[in-house]
Amino acid sequence: MTSPSSVGLAIETSGLTKRFGHQAAVDGIDLAVPRGAVYGFLGPNGSGKTTTIRVMLGLAAATSGTVSILGRSMPDRGRDVLPRVGALVEGPAFYPFLSGAANLRRLDSADRDASPATRAARVADALDRVGLTHAAGKKVRAYSLGMKQRLGIAHALLSPRELLVLDEPTNGLDPQGTREVRALVRSLAADGATVFVSSHLLAEVEQMCTHAAVMSAGRLVAQGTLDELRAVGRPRVTVRTPDVDVAARVLRDLGLDPAAPASVGAGPVPDGEDVLLTAPQSDPGVPAEAISAALVTAGVRLRGFGVDGATLEDRFVALTGEGFEVAQ
């Protein structure tokens, strides 16, 4: 039975745990994925993302805890739920000597709920949505990794889905392919689907997701809308100047703690070259006009100045203690 609080959730887990021997790969996580969201599931490699997805979809058994997908308990109601879910997990696997279209036709024929009469149209539409119409007749062994990734997404789209679960969907894609997948994810959400995207690429999550969760060492350390996650972090002061020593002293006098300066260019910092100083804001923050006035009064030549909101990268590094890849 679905609780009233769960009606608006596409995915809900409670205390979900998966152990391998004495090691907890997933440790008591409580996910809440709203319907209609593009939900980024973030974490460094080995943080438990793929194991969580496998348990959610019934591909692995939970040690303890519960999973609900589209308001139905998993894996008990998997037969009812899974036809409404499309998934790409741990990379696509296809017959290398068959064409992309032939692979999709075989996969579609294995779906007992799929009508043979409309199979050709479904395959053609799925290939078109991922930009592979031109390669429909090419054998998969000749596909690039990015093309195989898109074919995997096409498989997930063979039938209308209420929920798409995509594990690292832009893996192996060039920048153009990445943009196409990003646009595809947005279009799926615009059509009413919920999209759950596992990724370690912050830039991708920021550009296509409405919500995110952060995993670290098997634990869920944060989740919410992107704005909610950013709001927890502290804003940063940035100062670009050739007078780095004086600027750093002024910031310290104001109660700010500037990080080691970084050259705007590459290599060692020659005398007189612009240098970028950053410092987290104190709490309560020092007004921007007070900072700039103090710098000017001290004779600092300002080439750039700003007080920027906290970034997702700042927040995630603070939560996990690890860096994230920010570009592909």
CA distance 68 to 64: 13
Task: Map out the domains of the chain with their CATH numbers.
Answer: 4-231 (3.40.50.300), 234-309 (3.30.70.260)
Q: What is the pLDDT of residue 4?
A: 36
CA distance 94 to 268: 50
CA distance 233 to 318: 9
Q: What is the pLDDT of residue 313?
A: 65
Q: Which residues pair with 38 in a beta bridge?
A: 195
Q: What is the pTM of this model?
A: 0.73
Strands of 218-318, DSSP E? 219-225, 236-241, 262-263, 275-280, 304-308
Q: What is the pLDDT of residue 322?
A: 55
Report the interhelical angle of 145-156 vs 175-190 (nearest 10°): 10
Instruction: Give the helix/strand (H/E) hosting 154.
Output: helix 145-156
Q: Are strands 262-263 and 219-225 parallel, antiparallel or unpaired?
A: unpaired
Residue ranges of the alpha helices (H) in 254-307?
Answer: 288-297
Q: Is the peptide bond before 284 cis (omega within 30 degrees of 0)?
A: yes
Q: What is the pLDDT of residue 326?
A: 40
Q: Tokens 């570009």, residue? A: 327
Cα end-to-end distance, the chain, whole Å: 42
Q: Which two tokens stand for residue 298?
A: 């001290």
CA distance 18 to 169: 24
Q: Which two tokens stand for residue 280?
A: 């987290």
Contact 167, 132 (CB under 8 A): no
Q: What is the pLDDT of residue 141?
A: 95
Q: What is the pLDDT of residue 62?
A: 95
Per-residue pLDDT of the chain (328 residues; tens, 9 = 90+): 344 345 589 999 999 999 999 899 999 999 999 999 999 998 888 889 999 999 999 999 999 999 999 999 999 999 899 989 999 887 678 999 999 999 999 999 988 888 899 999 999 999 998 889 999 999 999 998 888 888 998 998 898 889 999 988 887 777 887 888 888 888 888 888 999 999 877 778 888 899 999 888 899 988 999 888 876 666 778 888 888 889 888 888 888 877 766 544 444 445 556 777 776 666 556 888 888 899 999 999 988 888 776 666 666 666 665 554 444 3
- DSSP state string for 110-127: T-TTS-GGGHHHHHHHHH
C-alpha dihedral, 230 to 235 to 239 to 245, nearest 10°: -130
